[in-house]
């Protein structure tokens, strides 16, 4: 699949989801689903414009995933201290992803491993959530989030075992799973 098509699909999917999340917004609460979707839309639109440069994805994730982890922290009732910790760790994970994407050889591995350590620390804090809802969302964390670095390492950003178009297609599927389907799941448990 061509990068233009993948990024175009990303624009279309996240444009629709942004509209749906905006229209479905309950005026009494912060509309994080709309903002996460909108940030992801901007990321795909920018990648479409500049030819699919993958590191841009990680820069967009600094904002969308930090907001997403805040929502998860609230949802699983993390303490304020733990919530601050995950809000600090999330942008570090994404920034090291961007740096790994821009690097080669030893430096790519250095940034990837450092990001992996930040990610493990992030998971340790999230696993301390005491909410009854954690079981309902852990599949998004374990499967969705953990597959992103696997795709990275087999993509041309890592060891080039798959073409970039397939990697970008997998990233799009993971974005849909972790940013749209996730919100629909927590919406159902909160009603």
% of the chain exceeding 70 in pLDDT? 94
When pLDDT is cut at 50, 70 and 90, the band that residue 37 belongs to is very high
Contact 128, 135 (CB under 8 A): no
pLDDT higher at 109 or 25: 109
Cα separation, 186 vs 72, whole angstroms: 9
Residues 82-122 pLDDT 10s: 999 999 999 999 999 999 999 999 999 999 999 999 999 99
Cα separation, 69 vs 95, whole angstroms: 15
Cα 14-77-171 angle, rounded to 5 deg: 25
């Amino acid at each position: 699949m061509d990068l233009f098509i993948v990024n175009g699909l990303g624009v279309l999917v996240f444009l629709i989801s942004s509209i749906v999340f905006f229209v479905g917004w309950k005026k009494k609460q912060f509309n994080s689903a709309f903002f996460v979707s909108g940030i992801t839309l901007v990321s795909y639109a920018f990648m479409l414009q500049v030819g699919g440069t993958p590191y841009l994805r990680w820069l967009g994730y600094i904002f969308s995933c930090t907001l997403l982890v805040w929502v998860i922290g609230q949802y699983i009732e993390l303490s304020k201290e733990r919530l601050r910790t995950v809000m600090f760790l999330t942008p570090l994970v994404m920034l090291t992803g961007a740096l790994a994407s821009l690097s080669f050889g030893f430096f790519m591995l250095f940034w990837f491993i450092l990001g992996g350590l930040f990610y493990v620390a992030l998971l340790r804090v999230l696993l301390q959530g005491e909410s009854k809802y954690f079981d309902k969302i852990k599949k998004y964390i374990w499967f969705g989030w953990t597959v992103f670095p696997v795709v990275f390492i087999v993509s041309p950003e890592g060891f080039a075992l798959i073409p970039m178009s397939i990697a970008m297609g997998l990233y799009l599927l993971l974005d849909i799973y972790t940013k749209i389907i996730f919100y629909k799941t927590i919406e159902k448990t909160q009603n």
